[in-house]
Each structure stands twice: as C-alpha cells, then as structure tokens.
Structure 1
C-alpha cells in the first residue's frame, strides 16, 4: 500500500472539444448572416456591368457623421478608462493581497499550534518517570549524572531548547545543557512564575526571556509528585522559536506574535521584540519588569498609526509606508499571529498595470468598433450600388454566399475548438508533471543540502591545509590538497547540475536515452534518502548498453516517482532493497523496479491508477497516474506485475520502444 502515493488525475479534454461543436449544431444553414463577405461576390459580379450608379449624397453625409461621433465617443472612453482603472486595480490588488495574507496567517498559526501541542504533553510524561522521581528524592550524584545524559538525549531527539529538573527550593538538579557554559545546573529559578505556578497548580505555561541564555522562549512546566513525606519538584522544558523567526525573515512580509497583553514575543523583525501594539497600563508594565519576563525591555509601542488607503484600513509608519494587517488567533492559547504587508509598491504597480490594461482594452475595443464601422460603411456603399442591379440575381447570389460562409465558419470553429482542446490538454499535462517535479525537489532539499554541506566543509579544510603547505613551501602536498578540492567541487557541480536539469520543463523531443544514465540521474537526487533509510539499490549491469526512444527528463521523472514510492514503502526498516533490471526483445525494452517492502493491498491494487487514490495520509494520489501518462506519451506502458508467492514487495514493469540508429 505504498506505490499509489502520487497518482495524477486523468485529462478531461472531451468536454472542451464537444462544447463548440454543440454550439454549432444549433445553428441552421442560412441563418448565419455576414453582410461583409458575400457582398464581395456582388462587387465582382457587377464590375462587368456598365453604368454603375454613383454613391448618393445622403450616404456621404451619414458616413461623416458616424466618424465624428465615433471619434468623440472614443476620446471619452479613453479618458474614463484612465480615470477609473486605477481604483479598480486597487480593489483587485487588495482582494488578492487579502487572500494571500489570510492563507499565510492561517498556515503559520497552525504551525505554531502544532509546535505547542507537540511539547505540551512532554512534561506530563517526564513527571511520571521513576528515574527522575528517584533523582529528585535521593539526590544521588551518579543518578543525577545519568539524568543529565538522559535529558540531553531527549532534548536532541525532540528539538527542545533545554529540559531541566528543579527541586522544591528552586535549585536546578539536572539539565540537558549540563555541559554548556550557561548550564542551568545549580541555578535557582524560584523567582520564575512558571516554577511557582507549577508547584501550586500542577502545571504552567509561560513565555519569557531567558536569564542565563538571554534568548526568549516558551516554558512548559509540570509538578513532579514524589513520596508524600518528601517535597515535590518541577520538570521544565524551554522551547526556542528562533528558527521560525529566521524563516519568517524570508517571507517578504512582517510576521509577529503577541501575547494576551499585546506584547510582541515573536517577530520576523528582531527590532520589534518586546514592543507593544499600544501603551500598557503602568501597573501591568511594572509587574512585567518585576518578574523579568522580558528582561529590561522598555515595552514601547510600535510606531504605527491607523489610517485609510483606497477606502480600506491600513497602518502607517514614519517611513510613509502603509501596511495591511491580518490577525489570526492561535488555537488553545492567548497568542495572536499578525501579518503586515506593505502596500505602497503593490498599489503603484497595480495602478500602472490596471491603467495600461484598461487603455489597451479600450483601444482594442475602439479598433474593433472602427473595423466594424468601416465594414458597415462598405456594406452600405455596396448595397447602394447593388440597388440598380437585377433583384432576382442579387437574391440568388446572396443566398449562395450565406450558405458558403455558414459552412466555412462552422468548419473553422470546429478546427479551432479541436486545436484549443489539444493545447489545453498538453498544457495541463506539462503543468502537472512540472508541479510533481518541483514538489519532489522541495522534499529532498534538506538531503541535498546535507550532501553539499559535507564537501563544502571538506573544501574549507583542504584549502586551509593547502595554505599552510604553501607557507611551508611544500608545493607537492599543496597540489594534492588542490586536486582533492577540484574533485569535491566537481561532486557539488554534479548535484546542483542535476537539480537544474530535473527542475526544467520537459520540452525535449523523444530521442535516444540511456536507461542507466537516466537511473543514475534519478539516484543522484534520491541517494541521500536511500542512504538515510539504509536501503540498498541494486541496478543490474545489463542496463548499461540499453537505449530507449524517450525524453530524458520525463523518463527520469518516472524513475524518481517509482523509486520514491518504493522508499516510502520500505521506510526505515533494516534490510530494505530495491532491484532494477531490464530485458530486451522484439524491439521493446522491459524495465522492472522491484522492492522487498510489504507490497500492495488488494483494494489499492485494483484502483492503483485511479486519481487521488493513496495509501498514505499525506499522499495526493497523482504520481503513478502522471508516470503512466508520461510512458504512454512516449509510446510505452506502465503496469503493476502480479505478486508471486514467496517474493515480497511490489514490482512495476515499464515497456518502452528500443532505440535503433
């Protein structure tokens, strides 16, 4: 139940093809009237007839009047478009910005809520630990040393900033940072509200500036109940949001979180830490200073004042910038997430774009109206000249021309609808394939960064050594270091080059593609993950000389989807193995990708290539359908082979035409 993690929806191009045809079918021949084209035939016919009457004088006056009226209306429309397009553009820009900010605020509020929920239950679990309770009551040095190591490993595994145990007098007995310079061991935290509240109420949650580290964090504390004859203690966990604030700094907007008093506790702008949304009451400010919750921060309000822009509320700063504000309450807390987005540059660009668009649209409409007016005048002139011809012949020619034009127009509309449907289908398929590739690149970015960081660190070491060798005039050793640096740089180039190669859109035409080369490129991106999971990828040597007729990037995307699904199925369990083999017969190359995972459930197997079918909770059910469509577009097939007794896992078979020069 693993290879359906990313299937693609089937392309639905049939409705787009049939819609125009249905519209044409309702039109009857002879009712589609075009007064322009059929009159050309009349003009050609009457050129052989003598004594063509001159154009009447009233018609000349009517034409001049129409052009004067057209010019006046066109000028008015251009002025109105320039005047009102800016306001329309502002409204559209504000609507788009509101949607984006709502999405950004909701996503980050959920993220903070998930982080809080992750660490909320940890103090309760630790408070039940017998080793921790014994260390609190017995104060045995060996037990406390063992507890330090245990808390250190637990902090590293959970991502907590520090975990520490405090006795009933406020002295820290053990801490995960026992080896650090600012270790909590031996320090007294009786003055901290989270300590007193935990002893009194059983648990506490408190955000404050660290007195030892000088870094703010969220403290979760829980009372540790021991023998009734002994005093209780407190287990505390500090959670540092510094990594989240650094991520916010790349968002382009200003994000910050306020507590129940309106004090900014988290912010993408470090200068905004412990500023306030408004002036705090003196008694509250004195209480916060006395508790050292925010250290010696002055708790001054932000330099933002309410204002209006384009009839919408904004916040104005001293730099003449205006901000749209979106607030989102963080569930199960007294915190509020705020998102500020600058509007000046956005409105300037929106106004310019709106005016240009409105002027171009108005000019296009005027051009069409002018063309229509020219055609109308030409028709009036031809009608005036044809009035002297024989009525019976004119009717016959007009009827025949109308029939021909209606039939020709129906044919053109059918061809245009068919071509548009095909183009939309191609665009949707390419966009879906590209989205799948970019999603995969986002998933492996951490592993690729780790693969690059290792040679980068080695390059720095060898470069430093080479400089020392040069100072010692040991050129031979320096040359060896430089050679190693060259090899490491080449390794980094291979990784980044494959990322660029894979991320680009697959617009290449089918041609000779080496199966081994495509697999090597795919493994270059997936190798870090396979190594982390301890999965062995066995590629048969018979693949080396085989070539298929395909597109390089699209075939690599199919390999990556299948290998990624296999890695999902294998997970971190030991003994995972993926085998890849190929055979060639009758001008076809058959590639089998097999894993020794748990295999596919029968129900999932029957709906394997159905859109949005996935055995993973986080899977979209699109990848396999994308892969099958790619292989079919290349003239091949992608199927799941039936399972065989005694052989675990799942096996996918790819069949592609063999390339022959």
Structure 2
C-alpha cells in the first residue's frame, strides 16, 4: 500500500498491532458445538460487532489525521523552500537597484564641476551644473538629482527647466540634509515635497579645501521594482526597523505597519511629516500556526511569510506565498487514506463473513457425514454401492479440474509465445532485406566463380560483408537500446545518437512512407548525457512525428541540429496538422494523451531525462503547419 510506506515509524508501531488483532479476530474460525447448529447463531454478536467497529473507526481517524499532517508538513516544507528562493529573487531585484544608485552621490561629491559651482555660486557654473545633472539623471534613470548649498538652498537640479524645479527650495528641514552635512552621508525614505511620490533619498556631503561646500542628493523611486514584484505574482513588501512598510507590490499597503504600532510611535511618525497623511494602520495579516492569514482577500487565505533581513541597512523583505497547495494536498491525502482504509476494512469483513459461512457449512457437513455413517451401518449394500459411485464422481471431478488447470497453463504459455512473436517482428522486418540481398549476392557469387570472374565475385562477396555488417549494426543497436541505463553523464556524439534513433525507427518511416530529412552539421559535436537515454528521447520524438504524418502522402519529418555556443539544439519537426491549443498548453502534464492506447508519460519522461542532463525539452506548434519538439543539451567541453 503506497500510503503505508509514507508513515513514520512511530505511527506504524501504534497501528500495526491493532490491525493484526482485527485481521486475526475476523479470520479466526470459532469452534462450533454440533448440538447448537440448529440454533443458527448470528455471524457476529452485537457487542463484538460494536467493539470492532469502534476500534476500526478510531484507528481510521488516527491514520487519516497522521497521513494528512505528514503530507501537509512535507508540502509546506516544499512551499517554504520555493518561497525562500523567490524571496531571494525579490531581494536581488531590490539590491540591484540600490547598488546601482548608491555610487552616484559618491561620484558627484568628488566631481570638480560640483565643487566649483558650490564654491563660487556663480550663475553660469550653476546653470552648467544643472545641465550636467539633467543629463546624468536621464542616463542613470533617477527620479531626482540636485545639489544643496550649506544654507539649505537648492542651487542646481536635474529638473531645473520644469515648473516643479527644486532650484531655490529650502531643504534645511530635511533630516537627510542635516545628517549628511554633519556626518558626511545620510539616507532617508520619505514623500517628495513637490512630487508627493515616495522614494529613498541618498545624500553625500561635498567637501572643499576650507570645509563643507554643500550636499548632493539622489532620489531613488521604486516604481520599477514594485512593478517587477507584481509581475512575479506573489505579494512582497519591505519594512524598516519600526515595521513600517516602505516598498510594496500592493500600493495600498505602503506606510502601513507589519504589526500594530503604539499610539506614541504613530504620533511621532506623523510629527516627522515625511510620510504625509499616512495612518500607519496595521497590515491585513493575522498570524496563524506558522503562517499568516491575509484578511483582505474574499476568503481569508493562509499564506507563508518569508523574511529576509538586512537586504539594506535596517530593511527587511517580507514575501507572502499561498499555502493553499499544501492544504489541498493534505485534504486529498486524507480522503484517499479514508477511502483506502474503508475499502480495506470492507475487504476484511467480507473475508471474515465468507470464512465464517464456510466454517458453519463445513460443520454441518461433518454432522451430515456422521448421520450418514449411522444410516450406512443400518442400511443395505445398495447404499454402500451408491456411496462408492459418489466417490467415483468426486474423483472424476478432481481429474477434470486438474486437466482444466493444465489447459489454462498451456493458454498462458501460448499467449507468452504470441507476445514474443510480436516483439521479434520488428527485428525480422529490418533484417529481411539484408538477408534477401545476401542470398541473391551469394547465388550471384557462385555463378561468377563458376564463370571464372574472380573480380566480380570479390565485389559480390564485399556486398555480402556489407549486408552482414548492416544486420550486425541493427542487432547491436537493438541490444544497446534495450540495455539498462547505468546513469553516467559523459560526452556523447550527437551523430551517434541520431543515427541510432533513426535506425530504430526506420521501419516505422518506411511503413508510413514518410520522408526523413536531416539538417545541420552535427559533425563532431558532443553533448553531456548518456547515449541510451538520449536515444530513448529521440526515438519517442521520432515516433510521435511519424504518427503525426501517417495520414499525409507527402509526410516529412525533419531532424535539425543547431550549435548555440554552450548549448546544442536537436529539433524534430513534422508537417502534420499540429497540436491543439489546449493540448499544447498542457503537453507535459502526466497522463495527458490523445492516443487511444497511450499513457501520457512519454513526453514527461523525455523532459525529465533532458533535465537530468542539464537541458530542456520544449514544443511549438502552428495550426496546419505541424509541430516542432526541440531538445536542448549542454555541449561537452573538449
């Protein structure tokens, strides 16, 4: 039973003794008093029946609960691992944007033009600096770049031409200005005073020979990062040390708090004014047994919360991933376990009832035989003769049963031989033509030898050798293809894999009168893989392609090899009717097939083989233009 193999050792130790007792109790034949047979006792007393049902139900409930808990635990572990990887991807996107922009204020702080403009405060130099910042902001794709003098007045900015220009604005109230002027560097997340858009302000002090000259500021907005997170499809947000949401894939979550903030903290944040009119209300999340419940969804949905700390100074990334797949897996496991347990107990009950009835019938038979023996002693020889005739009939029936079993065994063996004949039919078809050629060449060689034409006879013998080599290649290829794979990954010639696969499917192409075309220079290309398993993939693809063109008189199957540097593509295409959109969308789903006798596992296994070798298997199709399956493999380094 597959579910029993998944149970922990402790659960098996608890359930197994009780299960053995139930089976022994149900299958044990009770002793029956011959004098009480006429009373016709029930199959199972009511008290014993109630005890068995109660014990079975308790074990079933325990088993269903344990299986569901184990499956949910494993599914949650898999979801948490996937969520951690996704969180790392979100963090990488954010870190990339931050690292790209942090160097800009450092470079501007040492720029000669910036220092000269702040030192002289002359109009031409300041205008030239604004032009430079304008070009730099466009190239670096920053929201704002501006320079502030030591008195807090902005003297140059990248938006100096716009009505919303920062030039002339007083930023002495901004903490990033005062901190950068004092400490040399500062960062602050706040709403823009003009744009009212949130962003991270990166400030760097500009030092001159006689002291500070001013501060250069770069504003970084995260619209692109939030859009990229939304495209991934999992809610993500970044909080600061106070738990306040600064960046979020859900815009309405911005400036909410991960956990409820005290009223004093909320008042202090409002007093700072850097977050506008934000209410700092808590996020619609509620903790629940290792996960969180998102309460702003139509149905409060459990989600896995993954946290990555210090992705930036004081910042923590939170990623929410749905836990629904784990709940669905646990529910399905519980239903399947309950069904299997019910069927098992029903089967055991049926066996016990059957054994009980057989025992009662046997006991009645023994009583009947005793009665018969008493009557035989009192009756005449006619009854003895009738008894002998009855024994002879029983023996005849036994011999008939023996012959029937023998005939059944013969039929099974004949069926095995028929299957063996079907397996060898393909080999016979492939070697039939070379054998016929050998026979004709041998007759021709004898004739040439009798005529004394040794040169022509030698050529005939050469043809015979070539045909035998062809038969040898066919049988060697079949033997190699049927050999069990050893799992090694090594450099494998693409030409050998394609030649072997084409040879194994040659009879199929000739039978369907389909033309096979090979394109591309395989040459000495080698890929990392195993020949037997790679041939298994290509044979599967070629067979599918030949089936796709079996109704076309001009059927063409094309095998194309493309060298793409580190990777090699082997494409198998046909000019059949193509794949239906719904089939193409779920092409690599297990047990999905359009063949009447197919299992829907061929392409799934082929894709898994390609993945084992570090490659991939993809499919494209156009209505009426056939389908193309592309096997991508890593090139073997010489």
TM-score between the two structures when normalised by the length of structure 1: 0.46
* Larger-Rg structure: 2
Say which structure, 1 or 2, has more relative contact order (CA 8 Å, 6+ apart).
1
